[in-house]
Amino acid sequence: MTYDISLHDRINKLLSEKIHVEAPSAEADLMESGLLDSLLLVELMAGLEDEFGVKISFDEIELDNFRSIARIAEFVSRQSAMQEMVLS
């Protein structure tokens, strides 16, 4: 999956400023490390919806999509592409 590397930066900024989570790297597992729990995951999803305009339904929530900045970027990229296809 290709996506803009600045997407990593935007997600990292969202995590840092809104969720108050400092990810050590784009590949770090945020859940396994204990940085992201269920409450913070809900806050993250709300932040992603606000920041990127993607809609995340509870039916499509797959925890693996939110384990790292890299995986979140892939998810946001896929969601954005799917929503663009629906709108066109």
Tell me the per-residue pLDDT of 17-55, one tens digit each, with 9 for 90 and over: 999 999 999 999 999 999 999 999 999 999 999 999 998
Tokens of 62: 């797959």
CATH code, 42:
1.10.1200.10
Asked if the structure places residue 1 within a domain, the reply is no
Domains: count for the chain? 1
44 belongs to a structural domain: yes
CB 55 within 8 A of CB 61: no
d(CA 6, CA 19) in angstroms, rounded, equals: 19
Q: Are 67 and 30 in contact (CB under 8 A)?
A: yes
The pLDDT of 73-82, averaged and rounded, is 92
Residue 47, in any domain of the structure: yes
Domain assignment present for 75: yes
The pLDDT value recorded for residue 42 is 94
Contact assessment for residue 14 and residue 44, using Cβ atoms and an 8 Å cutoff = yes
d(CA 67, CA 74): 11
Mean pLDDT over 58-66 rounds to 89
Domain housing 65 = 6-87
State what percent of residues in the chain have pLDDT above 70: 93
Task: Tell me if 83 is assigned to some domain.
Answer: yes
pTM, 2 dp: 0.89
58: its two tokens: 């509870």
